[in-house]
Chain A
Amino acid sequence: MKRSKRRYLLLQIDVEGSLNEREFLDAIWGSIARLYGENGASLTNMSLIKYDEEKKSALIRVSLSALQSVRASLALITRISDRSVAVQVIKISGTIKSLGARTAQ
């Protein structure tokens, strides 16, 4: 079976206060599911690779075919646990290695 192509997204989370990994992940899945339904959400193959609560950054992996859907869903996240939030995509790459330097900064 041919492996599906993936993209890694480096995210910056603008939030008042802090946000834990669970809240963040639930917010992403919730936003995708609200916009595209549960079936659509399952097709994104989204998974959280790394989450840095201190730096307010995250690294997620999604299926290439669902990239635009995930970007739209991330853009529509405005509140998490009654806190104003904006999730910005900093960089997109096909390999985790090329994002490594940026994540280390």
Chain B
Amino acid sequence: MKHIFADLHLRLNPKNLASASRIVTKAASLGYDLIAVPFLPDTQKEEMDKLSEICKSAKIDFVNRVDLQARTRDQLISQLRKLRRRYELICVSCETKEIARQAAKDRRVDLINFPSADYTRRFLDKAEAELICNSLAAWEIDAKPLFLLEGSSRARFISSVRREISIAKDFKIPIVISSGVSNEFLLRKPREMVALAGLFGLDEASALKAISTTPVSMVKRNREKLGPGFVAPGIDVMKEGDDC
């Protein structure tokens, strides 16, 4: 079976199309079939369309995503209400425990990311895991800190993620592994990402799931939901009007 590989966190600069094009071409040559690009909540549709065109020419599926960095719970809820139907993926970057808890409870959130490599600011404990497993969200792990950190800080980061993965496994939380990079020299093949996931204690099958099945099915589910005829999972409007 051929895997469809996805990188749900490829940081492209919509203002620098030459660099974006280089990174997208590189991602396609490394074997990725789908990439998600994070945008700011107020990004213009034209900018997204330009990146979408670049991806189309590189024969790679483009997904738009927004990273929410709310300061308070109410701000997060308001952003979710405003942006849910505009973006195919919504990720919440959790800087505080309050935001992490709210993101884990909310069924409009697709991805939960803990951007800090500092273990005191990563909030995937058992309480958080229990909330996530009752929602539709997946936990996203960026590989970027592995490339940027060195020595004891990298060891501490690997140790934190390994502990969090064991909690995630206990609660059956879906895991997504992304690159989180903005430079083509930091892009790695999907199989290298699997090898890197091994550092976190993920076996090969789980790592492959985290870079192919889980992200791809999440994007598919959201595209169905954002479709014009969607009512509920499995229910679509097929025909409208007086003659129904």
Query: Could you list which residues of chain A lie within 8 angstroms of chain B, going by C-beta atoms?
Result: 14, 34-35, 68-69, 71-72, 74-76, 78, 84-86, 88-89
Contacts and interface: CB of A to CB of B under 8 A. Distances in A.
A88 B189 contact: yes
Contacts of B151: 34
Interface stretch (B110-118, B190-198, B209-217, B236-244): B190-198
B96 to A, nearest CB: 30
Contact of A85 (B185, B191, B192, B198): B185
9 contacts: A34-B150, A68-B198, A69-B198, A75-B193, A76-B146, A86-B186, A88-B30, A89-B191, A89-B192
Contacts of A72: 192, 195-196, 198-199
Contact of A89 (B184, B189, B198): B189
Tell which of B151, B198, B199 has the most Cβ of chain A within 10 Å: B199
Given A72-B196, A88-B30, A78 B191 contact: no
Contacts of A35: 199
Which of A34, A71, A74 has the largest count of B CB atoms less than 10 A from its CB?
Answer: A71
Top 10 A-B residue pairs of the complex, sorted by shortest distance between their CB atoms: A71-B195, A75-B192, A84-B185, A72-B195, A86-B185, A75-B188, A78-B147, A68-B195, A68-B198, A72-B196
B147 A76 contact: yes
Interface of B: 30, 146-147, 150-151, 183-189, 191-193, 195-196, 198-199
Contact of A71 (B146, B183, B191): B191
A76 B196 contact: yes
Contacts of A85: 185
B185 A78 contact: yes
A78 B187 CA distance: 10
Contacts of B185: 14, 78, 84-86
A90 B175 CA distance: 27
A78 B196 contact: no
A19 B75 CA distance: 50
Contacts of A86: 184-188
Given A72-B199, A86-B186, 11 more contacts: A14-B185, A34-B151, A35-B199, A68-B195, A71-B191, A75-B188, A75-B192, A76-B196, A78-B186, A86-B185, A88-B188
A35 B199 CA distance: 9
Contacts of B146: 76
Nearest to A72: B195
A75 B187 contact: no
A84 B195 CA distance: 21
Contacts of B189: 88-89
Given A14-B185, A86-B187, A74 B192 contact: yes
Contacts of B192: 71-72, 74-75, 88-89
B104 to A, nearest CB: 30
Contacts of B191: 71, 89
B185 to A, nearest CB: 4
Contacts of A84: 183, 185
Nearest to B189: A88
Nearest to A79: B185
A85 B198 CA distance: 22
